[in-house]
Structure 1
Amino acid sequence: MKSIQRHIFKAHTCLWLALAAATLSACTKKFEQYNTDPNKVTEEQLKGDGQDVGSFFPDMQLSIIRTVDWEYQLQQNLNADLYSGYMMSGDPFVGGKNNNNYALIPSWNSTTFDLAYSHVMSNWLVIKQRAEQSKPDFYAVANIIKVAALHRVTDVYGPLPYTRYGAGGFTAQYDDQATIYKSFFQELDSSVQVLSAFVADHPGTTPFASFDLIYGGDYTKWIKFANSLRLRLAMRVVYADADLAKEQAEAAVSNSYGIIASNDDIPRVNMVNGTTYLNPLADITLDWNDISMNAQMESFMVGYSDPRIGKYFLSSSEGTAGYKGIRSGIDIINGSDYQAFSKLNFTYTDLVTLMVAAEGYFLRAEGKLRGWNMGDGTVQSLYEKGVSTSFAQYSIGSADTYLADNVSKPSAYTDPKNPVNNVAEGSPDLSTITIKWDEGDTFEKKLERIITQKWLALYPDGEEAWAEYRRTGYPKLFPVVVNYSGGTISTAAHIRRLPFPQSETTNNAAAVEQAVANLLGGPDNGGTKLWWDKK
Structure 2
Amino acid sequence: MMKKINIVRSWLIGSFVLFGITSCTAGFEDANRPGHETSLEELGRDDYAVSSFITELQNFAFPEQENTYQNTEDLIGNYLGRYMTYVKPDFSVKNYTCFNASDDWKIVPWRDVFAKATSSFNAVAVLTQEEGPMYALALILRAQLMLRFTDTYGPLPIGVEEDANAYSSQEKVYSHLIETLDKAISIITPLVETNPGLVLKADADKVYGGKMNQWCKFANSLKLRMAIRMRFVNQDEAQRIAVEAYKAGVIEQNEDNCAITYIPNGQYKTSVDWGDSRACADLESYMNGFGDPRIYQYFKNTEEYGRRSVVGCRAGANVTNKDLAMKKYSAANIEEDSRGMWMTAAEMTFCRAEGAMLGWDMGGTPGALYN
TM-score w.r.t. length of structure 1:
0.63
Equivalent residue runs for 1:44-123 within 5 Å: 44-93=41-90, 96-123=93-120
| Closer/same/farther in 2, CA of residues 227 and 34 from structure 1, 3 Å limit | closer
Equivalent residue runs for 1:335-346 within 5 Å: 335-340=322-327, 341-346=329-334
Q: Tell me the amino acid that sits aligned with residue 142 of structure 1.
A: A
Q: Confirm whether residue 380 of structure 1 aligns to residue 367 of structure 2.
A: yes
1:363: which partner in 2? 351
1:432-461 CA distance string (max 9 Å, x none) = xxxxxxxxxxxxxxxxxxxxxxxxxxxxxx
| Closer/same/farther in 2, CA of residues 198 and 101 from structure 1, 3 Å limit | same
Structure 2: how far apart are the matches of 1:372 and 1:154?
A: 26
Q: Confirm whether residue 327 of structure 1 aligns to residue 294 of structure 2.
A: no
1:173: which partner in 2? 166
Structure 2: how far apart are the matches of 1:306 and 1:190?
A: 41
Match of 1:353 among 341, 345, 349: 341
| Closer/same/farther in 2, CA of residues 304 and 137 from structure 1, 3 Å limit | same
Match of 2:12 among 9, 18, 26: 18
The number of residue pairs the alignment matches comes to: 362
Structure 2: how far apart are the matches of 1:44 and 1:286?
A: 45
Q: What is the Cα deviation at residue 94 of structure 1?
A: 5.4
8 Å contact from structure 2 (residues 198, 212) kept in 1: no
1:362-416 CA distance string (max 9 Å, x none) = 11111111001112x22111111xxxxxxxxxxxxxxxxxxxxxxxxxxxxxxxx
Q: Confirm whether residue 190 of structure 1 aligns to residue 190 of structure 2.
A: no
Structure 1: how far apart are the matches of 2:297 and 2:68?
A: 25
| Closer/same/farther in 2, CA of residues 281 and 165 from structure 1, 3 Å limit | farther
Q: Tell me the amino acid that sits aligned with residue 229 of structure 2.
A: R
SS of the aligned residue for 2:343 comes to coil
Q: Flag structure 2 segments of 5+ consecutive residues without an equivalent.
A: none
1:144-183 CA distance string (max 9 Å, x none) = 0011111011101111111349977xxx211000000001
| Closer/same/farther in 2, CA of residues 45 and 160 from structure 1, 3 Å limit | same
| Closer/same/farther in 2, CA of residues 126 and 290 from structure 1, 3 Å limit | same
Q: Confirm whether residue 278 of structure 1 aligns to residue 264 of structure 2.
A: yes
Structure 2: how far apart are the matches of 1:166 and 1:129?
A: 21
Match of 2:246 among 239, 242, 253: 253
| Closer/same/farther in 2, CA of residues 267 and 360 from structure 1, 3 Å limit | same
| Closer/same/farther in 2, CA of residues 42 and 307 from structure 1, 3 Å limit | same
1:268: which partner in 2? 259
1:301: which partner in 2? 287
Q: What is the Cα deviation at residue 132 of structure 1?
A: 3.6
1:241-285 CA distance string (max 9 Å, x none) = 111110100110111xx10011101111125xxxxx211111111
Q: Tell me the amino acid that sits aligned with residue 143 of structure 2.
A: V
2:223: which partner in 1? 230
Structure 2: how far apart are the matches of 1:58 and 1:80?
A: 24
Q: Tell me the amino acid that sits aligned with residue 266 of structure 1.
A: N
Q: Tell me the amino acid that sits aligned with residue 150 of structure 1.
A: M
8 Å contact from structure 1 (residues 14, 122) kept in 2: no
Q: What is the Cα deviation at residue 31 of structure 1?
A: 3.6
8 Å contact from structure 1 (residues 100, 330) kept in 2: no
Equivalent residue runs for 1:393-404 within 5 Å: none
Structure 1: how far apart are the matches of 2:203 and 2:16?
A: 23
8 Å contact from structure 2 (residues 218, 250) kept in 1: yes
8 Å contact from structure 1 (residues 63, 115) kept in 2: no
SS of the aligned residue for 1:62 comes to helix
Q: Tell me the amino acid that sits aligned with residue 374 of structure 1.
A: M
Q: Confirm whether residue 141 of structure 1 aligns to residue 137 of structure 2.
A: yes
Structure 2: how far apart are the matches of 1:68 and 1:278?
A: 8
Structure 2: how far apart are the matches of 1:66 and 1:166?
A: 31
1:212: which partner in 2? 205
8 Å contact from structure 2 (residues 352, 369) kept in 1: yes
Q: Confirm whether residue 312 of structure 1 aligns to residue 298 of structure 2.
A: yes
Structure 2: how far apart are the matches of 1:130 and 1:165?
A: 24
TM-score w.r.t. length of structure 2:
0.89
2:149: which partner in 1? 153
8 Å contact from structure 1 (residues 96, 332) kept in 2: no
Q: What is the Cα deviation at residue 92 of structure 1?
A: 2.2
RMSD: 2.5
Q: What is the Cα deviation at residue 114 of structure 1?
A: 2.3
Q: Tell me the amino acid that sits aligned with residue 332 of structure 2.
A: L
Q: Tell me the amino acid that sits aligned with residue 157 of structure 1.
A: Y
The percentage of aligned residue pairs carrying the same residue is: 29
Greater helix share, structure number? 2
8 Å contact from structure 2 (residues 87, 319) kept in 1: yes
SS of the aligned residue for 1:353 comes to strand
Q: Confirm whether residue 289 of structure 1 aligns to residue 279 of structure 2.
A: no
SS of the aligned residue for 2:275 comes to coil
Structure 1: how far apart are the matches of 2:121 and 2:150?
A: 17
Q: Tell me the amino acid that sits aligned with residue 18 of structure 1.
A: L
| Closer/same/farther in 2, CA of residues 93 and 37 from structure 1, 3 Å limit | closer
Structure 1: how far apart are the matches of 2:351 and 2:229?
A: 10
Q: Flag structure 1 segments of 5+ consecutive residues without an equivalent.
A: 1-10, 272-276, 385-535
1:127: which partner in 2? 124
8 Å contact from structure 1 (residues 279, 350) kept in 2: yes
8 Å contact from structure 2 (residues 196, 213) kept in 1: no
SS of the aligned residue for 2:60 comes to coil
Structure 1: how far apart are the matches of 2:348 and 2:196?
A: 27
